[in-house]
Structures are given as structure tokens and as C-alpha cells.
Amino acid sequence: MIKEKQSKQSNKGLQKFTNYETLQSKEEMSALWAKDLDEFNKFGSWVVDRLNEGISATNREPEVVDKYYKLLELFYSISRPDLIEETRRTRWQVNRSLIETAIHNSIVSKNRLPTQSEIGATTGLSRVTVAKHFKEGLGADSYKEEIEGYRLMSLKVLNAMYKMAMNGNDLRAMKTFLDYFKDGPTSIKQQNNYLQFNNTRID
């Protein structure tokens, strides 16, 4: 009797997994949300788990990752519409990271830039996705947002530069710090490895 009960529980769990796999439309997810909110939230967690598995898989399959990203967007369209754009940005950042790694590895190992087809084969991304990243380049909104994040950290760098200049009497750090505030960061066009006063050069 115990074995039979365990078997029925296993089948129920398997059936639950199969039901998750068949949820493909917003209408189906809405019906689940209206019927059982707890199960609906479990479905969302299941989608996130499948997505993370797909992203970290050694043999990354782009169609699998795309499938679960789309399911996650559908899930958020019902439960958290405010998270849809964030999900798209995260997807862009993950893909960009994969592309950058592929380019870096090709340059280091082959001493050349990889083709878009090679990047697609290495990352598991479709050639269309790779081409889109190349076309958007530094103009992509997500990239601009990331740059703004680094700009927010500039004060920490300036604090470290000031500390280095004053505690270590570092003339180069002093000059860089003062140049920054002379006309703003655009005034620093080239940074040499030495300072020169009249005819005296200090390395």
C-alpha cells in the first residue's frame, strides 16, 4: 500500500511538471492564476529554474533559453508587468556577456576576431541575436544604463585617488585629481607615466 501511494504521488508530480510544460499562452496562465494562485507562483519559480539551467548549460540551446524567457515575460505580464522590461534588460546583459567572452577567447587563442557565426556556435545564441548586439553596439539602452552605473562609482575612485595622493605624496595622483576638477573629466585626454616640470622629469 505504501509503495502504491508513493507511486501515485510520483505520477502526480510528473503530471504537474507536464502541465507546466504545456502552459504556453497568456490565457492558459491567466486561468491558472484565477484558479490557484499558489500553483501559479510555483509555475513562475519553475520557469526561473528552467531558465537558469538553460543559461548555465554547457551545450546552451538558444531555442530553450528563448522559450523560457518568453514564458517568464508572459508570467510577469499577469503577475508583475513592471518586471517585464527588467527581464528584457537582464536577457540583453546575459547575451552580451556571452558574446564578449566568445570574442575575448577567440582573440586570446586564435589571435583574431571571431565571425558572427562562430560566436553563435560558441555561445548558443542565434545569429540574429548576435547581429543585433553588433548593430546596437554601444548605443544600446541597456549599455547606456550600465555606463551610468559606473559613473555613479566615480566618486569612490576620486576618494581613493585623493587618499593615494595625500597619504603617499603621489605627484601623479595629485595632478590627475586636480586635472579632473580643472575642466571636468573631458580635460584629461592622455595620461602619461611621468610628470614634467620645466626640464625636470619625474617618473
Whether 44 and 3 share a structural domain? yes
Percent of the chain with pLDDT strictly greater than 70? 74
Q: Tens of pLDDT along 43-72?
A: 889 988 988 888 777 666 767 777 888 888
User: pLDDT band at residue 193, thresholds of 50, 70 and 90?
Assistant: low
Burial class for 157, CB neighbours closer than 10 Å (0-12, 13-18, 19+): exposed
User: pLDDT band at residue 104, thresholds of 50, 70 and 90?
Assistant: very high
- Residue 166 in any domain: the answer is yes
Whether 102 and 148 share a structural domain? yes
Residue 4 predicted with pLDDT over 60: no
Grid cell of 89 as nine digits: 534588460
Whether 13 and 46 share a structural domain? yes
User: pLDDT band at residue 187, thresholds of 50, 70 and 90?
Assistant: very low
- Residue 86 in any domain: the answer is no
Beta bridge partners of 200: 197
* 117/99 Cα distance (integer angstroms): 11
Whether 106 and 136 share a structural domain? yes
Whether 1 and 21 share a structural domain? yes
Higher-confidence residue of 24 and 6: namely 24
- State the residue range of the domain holding 184: 156-202
Q: Is 83 helix (H, G, I), strand (E, B) or coil?
A: helix
- Residue 85 in any domain: the answer is no
Check if the beta carbon of residue 161 is closer than 8 Å to that of residue 177. Answer: yes
* 9/172 Cα distance (integer angstroms): 70
Place of cell 543585433: 132
Query: What is the arithmetic mean of pLDDT over 84-93?
Result: 84
User: pLDDT band at residue 113, thresholds of 50, 70 and 90?
Assistant: confident
Whether 144 and 166 share a structural domain? no
Whether 96 and 115 share a structural domain? yes
User: pLDDT band at residue 97, thresholds of 50, 70 and 90?
Assistant: confident
Residue type, 108: V
Instruction: Kindly report which listed range (91-95, 112-116, 138-142, 195-199) carries the lowest average pLDDT score.
Output: 195-199
Residue type, 35: K
Residue 126 predicted with pLDDT over 90: no
Distances (CA, A) of 163 to 25, 153, 168, 175: 57, 16, 8, 13
- Residue after which a domain boundary falls, among 79, 99, 120: 79
Whether 108 and 53 share a structural domain? no
Whether 134 and 192 share a structural domain? no
Burial class for 119, CB neighbours closer than 10 Å (0-12, 13-18, 19+): buried
- Residue 193 in any domain: the answer is yes
Whether 2 and 75 share a structural domain? yes
Whether 47 and 69 share a structural domain? yes
pLDDT at 108: 92
Instruction: Kindly report which listed range (31-40, 45-54, 111-120, 193-202) carries the lowest average pLDDT score.
Output: 193-202
Q: Checking phi first, is residue 74 left (phi over 0); if not, alpha (psi -120 to 50) or beta?
A: alpha
Whether 69 and 101 share a structural domain? no
- Residue after which a domain boundary falls, among 79, 110, 128: 79
- β-pairing, 200-202 vs 195-197, is antiparallel
pLDDT at 138: 63
E strands, the chain, in order: 195-197, 200-202
Q: Tens of pLDDT along 134-160?
A: 887 766 666 676 777 777 778 888 888
- Residue after which a domain boundary falls, among 36, 55, 79: 79
- Residue 125 in any domain: the answer is yes
* Domains held by the chain: number: 3
